[in-house]
Amino acid sequence: MSFNRALQGKYRPLVSAAWKLHCSRLSVDESDKLARDKWTRAELQKSTGKTSTKDCDQGRHFERAMSHFEALAEDGIHWQLSRQNGDAKRLRWHAGNNNPDWLKQFATEAAFETYLRGIASRITSRDNPQLHDLNDAEIGTLTRAVIIDAKRSLTRAQNA
């Protein structure tokens, strides 16, 4: 699923700001549309693994792209901070949709993130990985594991 119109409205100005800064630093012609397109696709590839926003999702890929272009544009840290917490928020949403009561065992978001990182450690065979460092396949596996755990907890509660 690609970036929708609202997301494009946030993405495009940030890409433009990053492009302008890039051009001023390297003395590149800012009006060269072909060079801009090539540069934008290369930078999007670096941040999301995709060369077009049509191939990106509206969650993780959007945050990664915005974080990357924000850093290139030197335009604050809003999206970089959002990227740090975005995966945990999305996973909490998935788990809560499958069993809201199950989430109550995690008194804080930090406790939930510790739980997620524990599962991620088993998935990746790395000690205490950061969620934002996981690739898309690992996040997909983690999401499925959290949903399964939440559903199992609900089944146990109903059978008790």
Q: Which residues fall within 8 angstroms of residue 78, CB to CB, at 6 or more apart? A: 70
92 Cβ contact list (under 8 Å, min separation 6): 103, 109, 112
Mean pLDDT score of the chain: 91
Which ranges of the chain does DSSP label H, i.e. alpha helix? 5-26, 33-48, 60-73, 78-98, 100-103, 109-124, 136-159
pLDDT of 157 over the 90 cut: no
Question: Whose CA is closest to 96, among 26, 147, 20, 47?
Answer: 147
> Dihedral (C-alpha) 20, 22, 24, 26: value to the nearest 10 degrees?
-150
Mean pLDDT over 41-56 rounds to 95
Provide the pLDDT for residue 102: 83
What's the pLDDT band for 18 if we cut at 50, 70, 90?
very high
| Dihedral angle computed from the Cα positions of residues 139, 145, 149 and 151, in that order, rounded to the nearest 10 degrees | 90
- The position carrying tokens 């950061």 is 130
Q: What mean pLDDT do residues 107-136 have? A: 90
At 99 the pLDDT is 80
Give 66-83 pLDDT, tens digit per residue. Answer: 999 999 999 999 999 998
| Distance from C-alpha of 102 to C-alpha of 71, rounded to nearest angstrom | 37
Instruction: Report pLDDT for 66.
Output: 97
Q: CB of 35 within 8 A of CB of 28?
A: yes
